[in-house]
Amino acid sequence: MKRVLISGASIAGPALAYWLHRYGFEVTIVERAPTLRPRGYGVDVRGAAVTVLKRMEILDQVRLADTNMTGVYFVNGKGKIEGQISEASMGNQHGLDIEIMRENLSTILYDLTKDTIEYIWDDSITAIHETEAGAEVQFIRSEPQTFDLVIGADGLHSNVRTLIFGDKEKFKHTLGCYISIFTLENYLNLDHRQLLYTIPGKTVGLYSARDNAEAKGMFVFKSEPLKYDRYDVGAQKKLVENAFQGHKGWETSQLLKTMNEATDFYFDEICQIHMPTWSRGRIALVGDAAYGPSPLSGQGSSLALVGAYVLASELKAADGNYDLAFAAYEKEMRKFVEKNQKIGLVAAGGMIESSKFKIFLRNIMLRLPILMGGMYKMITKMIAKASNAIELKDYDRDN
């Protein structure tokens, strides 16, 4: 039985662990956080990823956690609705696609694997030394161990990627903006909907969560590259404050105040990860660590689920021959990844308008059903095509 170490316990990690265990591998997951990360935002599961959930027999459970959002409403500085788009207009096809809070999907995957997978919490890999016998791994707290394979499923800022492939800057494709999300009281009593207030280069958002029991606040802004400590939450909150300083339209001031009190504050650069290869020797990457499409794309979780399935299944098909398996994994996934990353580029462009005139034009379009109908068909077709741009093999049947 081959031993596999996975770094990261969010979505790609537990999904990969599920499939590897099902195929007879012994799996350990190491996670830097002391528990499952509570923070998160809405993510979409579409196309091939829905098929993966079905094969994992958790599709019904995930559907029950659907946010059931009805649409996005654009407001002006006084809170007046200037226009709206439905969830379908953003590519979420009713009855087919799922929007779920990231933390809920992560919990479902953890519950599915916690009894069969060893989880090491509050620890991290410090070094990986590959030998003929395996990959010798050192940790911050745990004793060193040797594994047959090490998989980095540890997100945009992947520790495994840095240790094996080098600094993130080599693979980062910036989209020129930053995003912050945090939980707060649903004080506007939003009913399964999202409000967005846009000014040139900036967007303020608020949407209901947990079946309207709470809400998520959001700030998105364009910026030149910012230097900051990824673990210094106070400094990150200050960056958001500085970006929106002097802007008091709509709920901006209230959300900034609430953001400073938030305990699940999330902040990051909106960027993508582009790598020429996702493996080296006994080490491979999956999910955002290998091909993050950006949080705005909504496609990260789908890529993670599909990537985990393909990677584990190719390892099974190759009977553990990791050279063959990793090459097959990349061959199966590469075009699928590229098409879904294009959605991230489109989404980033649509979230932030560069001028008052463009905001004005957008609001006019939102009031014209004919234009919106055409746009809806175009967006839906593009997203549906990308999310289904891989033919998933049935490895259980084929082998």
pLDDT number for residue 173: 92
Compute how many other C-beta atoms are within 10 angstroms of the C-beta atom of residue 132: 4
Strand, coil or helix: 321: coil
Residue ranges in the chain assigned as alpha helix (H): 12-22, 48-55, 59-64, 102-113, 159-165, 233-243, 252-261, 288-291, 300-317, 322-351, 356-366, 369-387, 395-398
Backbone angles phi, psi at 162, to 5 degrees: -65, -45
CATH topology of domain 3-66+97-171+272-349: FAD/NAD(P)-binding domain (3.50.50)
Edge-to-edge strands of the sheet including 149-152? 118-121, 26-31, 3-7, 149-152, 283-285, 279-280
Which H or E run includes 153?
A: none
Report residues of the chain scoring pLDDT below 50. Answer: 88-89, 91, 399
Provide the terminal-to-terminal Cα distance of the chain, rounded to the nearest Å.
18
pLDDT digits (tens, 9 = 90+) for 283-329: 999 999 999 998 877 789 999 999 999 999 999 999 979 999 999 99
Cα–Cα dist 148/322, whole Å? 9
Cα–Cα dist 370/7, whole Å? 48
Mean predicted lDDT score pLDDT of the chain: 90
- Contact at 8 Å (CB) between 177 and 221? yes
- Contact at 8 Å (CB) between 17 and 6? yes
Residue 268 backbone class (left: φ over 0; alpha: ψ -120 to 50; beta: rest): beta
Going by C-alpha positions, the residue among 105, 6, 125, 24 that lies closest to residue 65 is 105
Going by C-alpha positions, the residue among 31, 211, 221, 11 that lies closest to residue 119 is 31
pLDDT number for residue 37: 82
Say what angle helices 369-387 and 322-351 make with each other, to 10 degrees. 170
* 215-248 core/surface letters (b: 16 or more CB in 10 A; e: else): bbbbbbbbbeeeeeeeeeeeebbebbeebbeebe
Interstrand relation of 3-7 and 26-31 (parallel, antiparallel or unpaired) = parallel
**Domains of the chain by residue range:** 3-66+97-171+272-349
Handedness of CA 71, 75, 79, 81 (dihedral sign): negative
- Contact at 8 Å (CB) between 16 and 151? yes
- Contact at 8 Å (CB) between 342 and 272? no
